[in-house]
């Protein structure tokens, strides 16, 4: 898998295929990784999809791959009752999808916020669906059900990652990828940059401003 380098001064993510431990996040997520390094308040994690950086405060523990958690206490049959599996809220779905795609969660959150405002049932006048506002044809190409919030988030994050890879050698990589997410890569390629559409220009500005704001508050 080729590396992605996001061309913003506050963003650098490298990808490699490695393997070895589990990083346990404070929200309960576990990330399979080959290892990690600590740089002040930032932890760099090497995952099979590539390297990601997360705030140290969001990490609860590190476990070796062969770690076996202590057995849970046997439930009392008289009190036990089947519990439905908890449904992740849209913010958690976006964070999980970003990590699975090897992207910083902040950039995917910025796109999701601009696209749907975190409404899983959002449908645009043009027919874009769900959290990441996927067109049916785009979702089909990603083998995803756009009406399923988890699949929508994961497919949207993968699509954004594909666009970042497409423009990785371009000095305007991030703005082009975001513009392509909104207007389509054909329009970006036609104009060799952000298309002169007011909607797309405003969209790119809004996403980048939101992303920078998130990073400034970390």
pLDDT digits (tens, 9 = 90+) for 149-169: 999 999 999 999 999 999 999
Alpha carbon distances (Å) from 35 to 103, 104, 107: 17, 18, 24
Q: Indicate which residues carry an active-site annotation.
A: 115
pLDDT band for position 18 (cuts 50, 70, 90): very low
Residue 195 has pLDDT above 60, yes or no: yes
CA atoms within 13 A on the CB side of 134: 29
Residue 70 has pLDDT above 70, yes or no: no
Residue 143 has pLDDT above 70, yes or no: yes
Residue 17 has pLDDT above 50, yes or no: no
- Identify the CATH class of 90-216: mainly alpha
pLDDT band for position 177 (cuts 50, 70, 90): very high
Alpha carbon distances (Å) from 8 to 98, 107, 130: 18, 11, 28
More confident residue, 30 or 90: 90
Q: Percentage of the chain with pLDDT > 90? A: 55
């Amino acid at each position: 898998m080729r590396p992605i380098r996001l061309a913003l001064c506050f963003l650098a993510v490298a990808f490699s295929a490695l393997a070895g431990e589990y990083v346990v996040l404070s929200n309960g997520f576990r990330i399979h990784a080959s290892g990690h390094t600590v740089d002040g308040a930032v932890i760099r994690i090497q995952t099979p999809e590539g390297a990601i950086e997360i705030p140290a405060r969001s990490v609860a523990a590190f476990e070796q791959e062969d770690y076996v958690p202590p057995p849970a206490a046997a439930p009392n049959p008289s009190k036990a009752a089947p519990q439905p599996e908890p449904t992740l809220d849209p913010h958690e779905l976006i964070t999980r999808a970003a990590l699975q795609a090897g992207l910083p969660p902040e950039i995917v959150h910025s796109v999701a916020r601009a696209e749907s405002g975190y409404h899983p049932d959002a449908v645009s006048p043009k027919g874009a669906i769900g959290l990441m506002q996927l067109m049916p044809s785009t979702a089909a190409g990603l083998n995803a059900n756009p009406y399923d919030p988890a699949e929508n988030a994961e497919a949207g994050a993968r699509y954004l990652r594909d666009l970042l890879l497409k423009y990785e050698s371009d000095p305007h990589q991030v703005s082009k990828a975001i513009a392509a997410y909104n207007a389509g890569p054909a329009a970006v390629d036609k104009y060799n940059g952000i298309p002169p559409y007011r909607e797309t220009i405003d969209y790119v500005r809004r996403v980048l401003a939101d992303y920078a704001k998130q990073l400034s508050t970390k």
